[in-house]
Amino acid sequence: MVTTTTLLIDAFSMLGFMAGEPGPTSLASCYPDQTTRGIQGSNAMRRRHLLLGLTLPPASPALGQDLPRSIRLVVPFAAGASSDTLARLISARLAELLGAGIVVDNRAGAGGLIAAQTVARAAPDGSTLLWGGSTAIIHAVMGCDPGYDVLCDFTPIATIVEHPALLAVRIAAPWQDYRALFAAARGAPAGALRYGSGGVGTPAHMAAAAMLKAIGVEGTHVPYRGANQATLAAETGEVDFAFAISKIVMPRMLQGAVRVLLSTAARRIPALPEVPTLRQAVPDGPVIVSGSSLVGPAGMPPALVARIHRAVNRIVTDDAALREVLTREGGDITLSETPAAYAAEWPQEVARMRRLVEVSGARME
């Protein structure tokens, strides 16, 4: 369970789980940096899948395209959260296109770790999918053993949209831009600046930690149970600022409840052209986004993966109203051309998130 957050001067010390002996040769090719601490669970899962493969009769050529009648979409967020709302919107349209029932299963426990574990251990028949592969990646690079191998125990299927985090302050705050906030932070005693996020190890937490480290300020992290609560804390002045996903912050900004000083997008958001990015504000500022995607357990038939991928892309490309929903609150549509293209990005994202952990000093204990 997440209990504390530590900002480390030597960020490599929090990655001690990477310093052990390499795992078995059979795993090295798919995740060379994984250690024996993180391999036991994935070995067990692979043994189970192997036994299933040995005991079942050979599949017919058409079997790989068959969908189960019911699909469980595991969402690592609480019901009613912005990501949950989007997952339900996409899943309802996906169910119509695929002709299968899709049931949303909210597994928000342990910061979404339970959701990732559930899918990693599921049968690779398409009956269990994960919403948001970034959840699985974050837990794999945060210095704890997630119980799965992030590069070997999942099948990336399709990407949909990415949302950045936004730095929000209460509307009555004296800081009109990030420079004023930085100046106040540098002049405050160590730890006096309080900042909120939707939880320890979330992209928003890492964005704040990386920013403060870059400007040489020590702050006090106040983790909340989700971006809604973190944004409310900034709105009421319970914290000096909060980083939260744009889907949550932008409606509150439009209502005049908060002021936005920075975004973590790669470029300025078209809806907020006056708001600089974190990479513009601090040296080597990271790009941090929360991706909405579909991921399955390892070993899914390629034809089945391709069928789901095509359906997702068709839903987005054919529906202008849906695209407007995805982009109006800072979203950047990121449809992958093929499942293989998304899979090729997976190890790159793991490496990027690991570097972000190093830079931010965020960790779970």
Question: What per-residue string of b and e applies to 172-203 under the rule 16 or more CB within 10 Å gives b?
Answer: ebebeebeebbebbeeeeeeebbbbbbbbbbb
pLDDT value at position 198? 87
Q: What is the mean pLDDT of residues 335-354?
A: 94
**Model-level pTM?**
0.76
What percentage of the chain has pLDDT greater than the value 70? Answer: 81
Q: What is the mean pLDDT of residues 310-318?
A: 96
pLDDT value at position 203? 85
Q: What is the mean pLDDT of residues 154-171?
A: 96
Q: How confident is the model at residue 342 (pLDDT cuts 50, 70, 90)?
A: very high
Computed over every residue of the chain, the mean pLDDT equals 82
For the chain, residues classed under CATH 3.40.190.10 are 164-281
Please tell me which residue, 59 or 305, carries the higher pLDDT value: 305
Q: Does residue 352 register a pLDDT over 60?
A: yes
Residue 342 CA to residue 362 CA, distance in Å, equals: 27
Residue owning tokens 């004296």: 174
Q: Does residue 47 register a pLDDT over 80?
A: no
Distance of CA 218 to the CA centre of its chain: 25
> Is 11-54+63-162+290-360 in CATH node 3.40.50.280?
no
Residue 202 CA to residue 222 CA, distance in Å, equals: 12
pLDDT (tens digit per residue) in 175-197: 999 999 999 999 999 999 999 99
pLDDT value at position 129? 98
Q: Which distant-in-sequence residues (6+ apart) come within 8 Å of 149 by Cβ?
A: 27, 30, 31, 34, 38, 39, 41, 42
For the chain, residues classed under CATH 3.40.190.150 are 11-54+63-162+290-360
| Out of 140-149, 253-262, 274-283, least confident range | 140-149
pLDDT value at position 211? 94
Domain 164-281, what fold? D-Maltodextrin-Binding Protein; domain 2 (3.40.190)
State which H helix or E strand residue 42 sits in.
helix 40-55
Beta strand segments in 201-271, E: 220-223, 241-245, 258-263
Q: How confident is the model at residue 281 (pLDDT cuts 50, 70, 90)?
A: very high
Distance of CA 54 to the CA centre of its chain: 35
Q: Does residue 143 register a pLDDT over 50?
A: yes
Q: Does residue 37 register a pLDDT over 50?
A: no
Give the N- to C-terminal CA distance of the chain in Å, as an integer. 7
SS3 state at 289:
strand
| Out of 11-15, 195-199, 236-240, 271-275, least confident range | 11-15
